[in-house]
């Protein structure tokens, strides 16, 4: 009997321990392992009723930020520049997507603004979400040159809002339809948003495990920004660049998604993420992204945090805050029988009326469908950032198209040289085209699919000049993460007939010379030593493949230009004379002439151009003299070198000197602004953008109604504004006189 009693006590202790462990697990993660024990258990977990308050606030913030994003980053304030020129080449994801006439593109922007306002207010919520998603993704897919990760995130959040119940709290729909007012939302609504934000951080961190990022080569020239002034008290710029920007950014992205999930670590995450996003808002021009990420942070708190927050406000403020209401049941959630009994319910639920149908207690087709939708969405978002092994045709030096892989800031590009050459197959003539003639964007210079699109667009334009049978070659020189400048595309390949397939590796992409990556430390030292020797000198590091050549022209401004061979062997051709350079050798290059550098070694050649812009040096010297003269620090008759100050005053560049000094004065005034002046300047600049956007919308509506050309209406508006401004200036002059 005693043995049995001891065994019973042990079983009891074991049962209590398991119960405690389960309670700890639920307290830590918000659910228990038994919630994952079966398909039906998972469904019940995902459709567990939750407070809609936190989701409602996200809806409000999203709507407000998307109104501002439409005006600013989507480009309403420069809609004519983006879509107004029919000769500009476009880069849609799918060729069947075409831009509408510019006045109708304005209507797309107007639809975005109105639908975003509808989302914010919770008015006709589903309809406005659908309009927003259609218009937003139309603009997004229409222009790959504007792709970035946060724009992609906005589109995903629009889709998530469309399929979730974010209008169940503090919405106009709730006022109009009592059944939606303060009704529960299923847990999967929060699950998808939390997962999406977690993915943004975590996969961005995984992408930053790239050696270029870890070694500090990805981001450059931001360590001197004023936001890093506190660190500069104890650190050098090099240490800030490596440990604060690169290593710190890696740690934040890898860890913050996890820290947000747990109550005990969430305050730490809030501190670092708030600092991180506020700093980014000052360093980078990334629109509403920092503010959107700040708005998503409270999603990881308890779902009823807004109600608790409003309850703690002083009585004098409660009349302007939402009232706290009991929650009612929702057909979109699953309840246990005990939950919906008023006398036993621990949840604040109530029925709308006695005739209202009771809430679901067993999974229906709707619940099963959206459980699968949740799983499929999570699976897609886990796989899509790593889908480049399938879409091989989009791969170049980096994997895939930029803008949906969360590889934020991992790659920094430098564009040195672009030459577009056409060959007329009928006449045998060769010509060179301005690379920006039909597109001001440069993303086509490192995305093979966009290079093909641009080549086809150029060929269409050249047909207007009776060039109907041509070959087209692109010679693009780029540097990735501070490596040598090297060719991106094979310059011998005709891009009009080149082989390209989305699912096959592009054969005419020149490989990134990763074997030369270790040179970057040496290149940095060379550049640093050169700057110490001569502040006016500049240097370009070049690497080329065996059998290829670089034809270059030394401008007359660059009277002091030399080439130095760092590795391999090259032959420099000048006026049909060849000069061979071996490693370490240098030669001076004549200005105002072409020269050709042939790589004759069996391995890639590496060389550097060192040049001094003598014209710019002279300009800066004369500018300094002119500034000293107008400040009365030196007399006008004084001779400096071979130049008198009167020569400067009578020179053709006097207007340039005056403009440069004016810009310098404005910049100095801006840097010395008080906080109030900076705020006032910020408001005025944003007001200017908003008023310009409104003028475009008004002009578009007028054009559609009156059928007058949009350009003609906008020109008249500009002329009227200019005349009004001139009249005001004239009146002010008369008043002063």
User: Is the predicted pLDDT of residue 315 greater than 80, yes or no?
Assistant: no
How far apart are alpha carbons 298 and 279 in whole angstroms?
19
User: Is the predicted pLDDT of residue 720 greater than 80, yes or no?
Assistant: no
- Bridge partner residues of 509 (DSSP): 489
Q: Which residues have a Cβ under 8 Å from the Cβ of 519 and sit 6 or more positions away?
A: 483, 484, 541, 566, 606
Question: Which DSSP letter does residue 402 get?
Answer: T
Q: Quick one: average pLDDT of 349-368? A: 69
Question: Which DSSP letter does residue 241 get?
Answer: I
How far apart are alpha carbons 213 and 209 in whole angstroms?
7
Contact 265, 259 (CB under 8 A): yes
Residue 529 DSSP SS3:
helix
Backbone angles phi, psi at 440, to 5 degrees: -85, -10
pLDDT at site 360: 78
Contact 82, 447 (CB under 8 A): no
How far apart are alpha carbons 81 and 74 in whole angstroms?
12
User: Is the predicted pLDDT of residue 330 greater than 80, yes or no?
Assistant: yes
Three state DSSP letters for 39-65: HHHHHHHHCCEECCHHHHHHHHHHHHH
Grade residue 31 by pLDDT with cuts at 50, 70 and 90: confident
pLDDT at site 7: 56
Task: Enumerate the active-site residues.
Answer: 208
Lowest mean pLDDT among 18-27, 67-76, 521-530: 18-27
User: Is the predicted pLDDT of residue 339 greater than 90, yes or no?
Assistant: no
CB atoms within 10 A of CB 134: 16
Q: Quick one: average pLDDT of 712-719? A: 84
How far apart are alpha carbons 370 and 389 in whole angstroms?
29
How far apart are alpha carbons 717 and 721 in whole angstroms?
6
Grade residue 598 by pLDDT with cuts at 50, 70 and 90: very high
Nearest to residue 241, comparing CAs of 263, 213, 268? 213
Sheet holding 586-589, edge to edge: 537-544, 605-612, 560-567, 586-589
HSE-CB for 284 with a 13 A CA cutoff:
17
C-alpha 300, offset from chain centre: 24
Q: Give the range with max mean pLDDT: 17-31, 242-256, 335-349.
A: 242-256
Q: Which pair of structure tokens corresponds to residue 729?
A: 């200036």
In the chain, the N- to C-terminal Cα span, in Å, equals 117
Q: Give the range with max mean pLDDT: 133-142, 389-398, 621-630.
A: 133-142
pLDDT at site 350: 46
Q: Quick one: average pLDDT of 138-150? A: 95
Q: Which pair of structure tokens corresponds to residue 123?
A: 């008015």
Q: What is each CA distance from 161 to 175, 262, 303, 446, 712, in whole angstroms?
A: 19, 24, 16, 34, 40
How far apart are alpha carbons 546 and 548 in whole angstroms?
6
Share of the chain above pLDDT 90, in %: 71
HSE-CB for 547 with a 13 A CA cutoff:
4
Q: Note the pLDDT tens digit of each residue in 218-240.
A: 998 899 999 999 999 999 999 99
How far apart are alpha carbons 636 and 406 in whole angstroms?
59
Question: Which DSSP letter does residue 343 get?
Answer: T
Q: Report which secondary-structure segment, H or E, holds 522.
A: helix 519-533
Q: Which residues have a Cβ under 8 Å from the Cβ of 503 and sit 6 or more positions away?
A: 390, 391, 392, 393
- Residue 219 burial class via C-beta count within 10 angstroms: exposed 0-12, middle 13-18, buried 19 and up: buried
**Sign, Cα dihedral of 296, 302, 304, 310:** negative
User: Is the predicted pLDDT of residue 566 greater than 50, yes or no?
Assistant: yes
pLDDT at site 144: 94
Question: Which DSSP letter does residue 496 get?
Answer: T
Sheet holding 486-487, edge to edge: 430-433, 413-424, 470-480, 486-487
Contact 185, 332 (CB under 8 A): yes
- Residue 693 burial class via C-beta count within 10 angstroms: exposed 0-12, middle 13-18, buried 19 and up: buried
User: Is the predicted pLDDT of residue 255 greater than 60, yes or no?
Assistant: yes
Q: What is each CA distance from 37 to 41, 416, 594, 690, in whole angstroms?
A: 6, 58, 74, 54
Q: Report which secondary-structure segment, H or E, holds 421.
A: strand 413-424
pLDDT at site 726: 59
User: Is the predicted pLDDT of residue 293 greater than 80, yes or no?
Assistant: yes
Q: Which residues have a Cβ under 8 Å from the Cβ of 100 and sit 6 or more positions away?
A: 83, 107, 108
Q: Quick one: average pLDDT of 476-504? A: 96
- Calculate Rg over the CA atoms of the chain: 32
Q: What is each CA distance from 335 to 27, 239, 368, 720, in whole angstroms?
A: 20, 56, 15, 65
Q: Which pair of structure tokens corresponds to residue 405?
A: 């892989």
- Residue 690 burial class via C-beta count within 10 angstroms: exposed 0-12, middle 13-18, buried 19 and up: middle
Q: Which residues have a Cβ under 8 Å from the Cβ of 209 and sit 6 or more positions away?
A: 250
Q: Which pair of structure tokens corresponds to residue 474?
A: 């692109």
Nearest to residue 196, comparing CAs of 378, 36, 428? 378
pTM: 0.89
Task: For the chain, give the mean pLDDT.
Answer: 88
How far apart are alpha carbons 197 and 203 in whole angstroms?
10
Share of the chain above pLDDT 70, in %: 88
CB atoms within 10 A of CB 85: 12
Contact 338, 330 (CB under 8 A): no
Grade residue 655 by pLDDT with cuts at 50, 70 and 90: confident
How far apart are alpha carbons 563 and 587 in whole angstroms?
6
Q: Note the pLDDT tens digit of each residue in 437-457.
A: 999 999 999 999 999 999 999
User: Is the predicted pLDDT of residue 13 greater than 90, yes or no?
Assistant: no
C-alpha 531, offset from chain centre: 32
Q: Quick one: average pLDDT of 337-361? A: 56
Contact 293, 310 (CB under 8 A): no
How far apart are alpha carbons 693 and 136 in whole angstroms?
17
Nearest to residue 557, comparing CAs of 617, 621, 613, 619? 613
CB atoms within 10 A of CB 47: 27
Q: Report which secondary-structure segment, H or E, holds 580.
A: strand 577-582
How far apart are alpha carbons 546 and 523 in whole angstroms?
21
Backbone angles phi, psi at 251, to 5 degrees: -65, -40
Nearest to residue 60, comparing CAs of 114, 116, 115? 116
Lowest mean pLDDT among 127-141, 601-615, 634-648, 712-726: 634-648
How far apart are alpha carbons 605 and 607 in whole angstroms?
7
């Amino acid at each position: 009997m005693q043995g049995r009693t001891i065994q019973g006590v042990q079983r009891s202790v074991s049962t209590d321990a398991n119960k405690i462990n389960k309670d700890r697990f639920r307290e830590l993660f918000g659910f228990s392992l038994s919630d994952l024990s079966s398909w039906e258990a998972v469904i019940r977990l995902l459709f567990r009723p939750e407070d809609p308050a936190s989701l409602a606030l996200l809806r409000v913030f999203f709507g407000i930020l998307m109104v501002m994003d439409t005006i600013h980053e989507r480009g309403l304030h420069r809609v004519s520049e983006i879509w107004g020129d029919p000769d500009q080449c476009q880069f849609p994801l799918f060729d069947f997507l075409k831009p509408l006439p510019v006045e109708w593109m304005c209507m797309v922007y107007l639809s975005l603004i109105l639908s975003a306002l509808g989302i914010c207010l919770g008015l006709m919520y589903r309809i406005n979400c659908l309009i927003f998603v259609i218009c937003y993704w139309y603009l997004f897919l229409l222009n790959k040159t504007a792709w970035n990760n946060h724009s992609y995130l906005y589109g995903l959040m629009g889709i998530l809002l469309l399929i979730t119940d974010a209008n169940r709290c503090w919405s106009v729909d709730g006022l109009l339809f009592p059944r939606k007012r303060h009704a529960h939302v299923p847990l999967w609504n929060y699950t998808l948003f939390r997962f999406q934000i977690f993915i943004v951080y975590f996969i961005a961190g995984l992408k930053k495990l790239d050696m270029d990022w870890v070694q500090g080569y990805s981001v450059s020239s931001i360590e001197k920004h004023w936001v890093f002034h506190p660190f500069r008290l104890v650190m050098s710029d090099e240490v800030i660049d490596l440990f604060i920007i690169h290593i710190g950014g890696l740690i934040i992205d890898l860890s913050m998604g996890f820290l947000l999930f747990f109550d005990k670590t969430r305050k730490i995450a809030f501190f670092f993420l708030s600092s991180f996003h506020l700093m980014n808002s000052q360093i980078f021009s990334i629109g509403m992204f920092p503010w959107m990420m700040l708005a998503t942070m409270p999603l990881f708190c308890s779902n009823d945090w807004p109600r608790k927050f409003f309850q703690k406000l002083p009585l004098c403020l409660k009349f302007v805050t939402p009232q706290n209401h009991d929650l009612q049941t929702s057909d979109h959630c699953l309840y246990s029988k005990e939950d919906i009994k008023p006398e036993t319910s621990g949840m604040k639920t109530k029925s709308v009326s006695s005739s209202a149908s009771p809430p679901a207690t067993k999974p229906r087709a709707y619940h099963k469908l959206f459980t699968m939708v949740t799983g499929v969405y999570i699976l897609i978002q886990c796989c899509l950032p790593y889908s480049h092994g399938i879409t091989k045709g989009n791969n170049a030096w980096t994997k895939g198209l930029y803008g949906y892989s969360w590889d934020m800031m991992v790659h920094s590009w430098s564009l040195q040289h672009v030459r577009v050459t056409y060959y007329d197959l009928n006449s045998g003539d060769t010509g060179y085209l301005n690379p920006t003639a039909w597109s001001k964007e440069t993303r086509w210079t490192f995305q093979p699919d966009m290079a093909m699109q641009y080549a086809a667009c150029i060929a269409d334009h050249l047909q207007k000049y009776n060039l109907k049978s041509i070959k087209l070659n692109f010679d693009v020189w780029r540097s990735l993460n501070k490596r040598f400048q090297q060719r991106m595309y094979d310059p011998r390949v005709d891009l009009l007939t080149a082989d390209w397939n989305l699912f096959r590796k592009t054969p005419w992409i020149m490989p990134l010379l990763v074997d030369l990556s270790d040179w970057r430390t040496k290149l940095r030292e060379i550049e640093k030593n050169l700057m110490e020797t001569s502040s006016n000198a500049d240097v370009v590091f070049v690497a080329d493949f065996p059998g290829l050549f670089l034809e270059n022209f030394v401008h007359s401004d660059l009277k002091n230009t030399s080439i130095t061979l760092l590795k391999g062997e090259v032959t420099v051709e000048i006026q049909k004379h060849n000069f061979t350079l071996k490693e370490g050798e240098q030669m001076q290059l004549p200005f105002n002439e072409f020269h050709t550098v042939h790589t004759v070694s069996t391995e890639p050649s590496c060389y550097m151009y060192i040049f001094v812009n003598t014209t710019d040096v002279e300009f800066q010297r004369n500018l300094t003299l002119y500034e000293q003269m107008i400040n009365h620090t030196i007399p006008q008759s004084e001779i400096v070198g071979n130049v008198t100050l009167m020569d400067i005053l009578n020179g053709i560049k006097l207007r340039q000197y005056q403009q440069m000094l004016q810009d310098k004065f404005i910049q100095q005034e801006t840097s010395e602004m008080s906080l109030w002046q900076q705020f006032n300047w910020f408001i005025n600049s944003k007001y200017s953008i908003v008023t310009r956007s409104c003028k475009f919308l008004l002009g578009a509506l007028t054009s559609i109604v009156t059928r007058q050309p949009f350009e003609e209406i906008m020109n008249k508006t500009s002329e009227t504004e200019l005349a009004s401004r001139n009249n005001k200036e004239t009146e002010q002059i008369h008043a002063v006189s």
